[in-house]
Amino acid sequence: MADIRKSNFWVNLLKKIARILFKKFRDKTRPQTHHQHVVPHEEGWAVKGEGNERYTATYKYQEDAIERAKDIAKNYKSDVIIHRKDGTIRDRVSY
């Protein structure tokens, strides 16, 4: 257990607090985008909104995922970023 009477305890605590605050501030300063990513998934392919933790939908074929991502991107006037099986970017379509 850490000893609060030692100076390194307070230094480490302040570093942790600074990291948390910096991350929250940095995330709020970026404008939200609605870019849609078509990414490899264990069930085939998935559509995932940029910055989202969860997948929007999963599909067996990449073409089906691309079509869904394009529909969403058209509504938001955003981009579709299509990835290869290895995760690298294959293509980008802007609306």
Same-domain check for residues 19 and 64: no
b/e code 53-66 from CB counts within 10 Å (16+ = b): eebeebbeebebbb
Same-domain check for residues 44 and 81: yes
Contact 51, 8 (CB under 8 A): no
pTM over 0.85: no
Same-domain check for residues 25 and 40: no
Q: Look at the chain and report how many structural domains it folds into.
A: 2
Give the torsion sign (CA, 12, 16, 17, 23). positive
Share of the chain above pLDDT 70, in %: 93
Q: What angle do CA 65, 35, 74 make, to 5 degrees?
A: 70
Same-domain check for residues 24 and 41: no
Same-domain check for residues 55 and 23: no
| Burial grade of 31 (CB within 10 A; 0-12, 13-18, 19 or more) | exposed
AA letter at 84: R
Residue 28: the pLDDT is 60
- The answer on pLDDT for 74 being more than 70 is yes
Same-domain check for residues 58 and 88: yes
For residue 10, the enclosing domain spans: 1-30
- pLDDT tier, 29 (very low <50, low <70, confident <90, very high otherwise): low
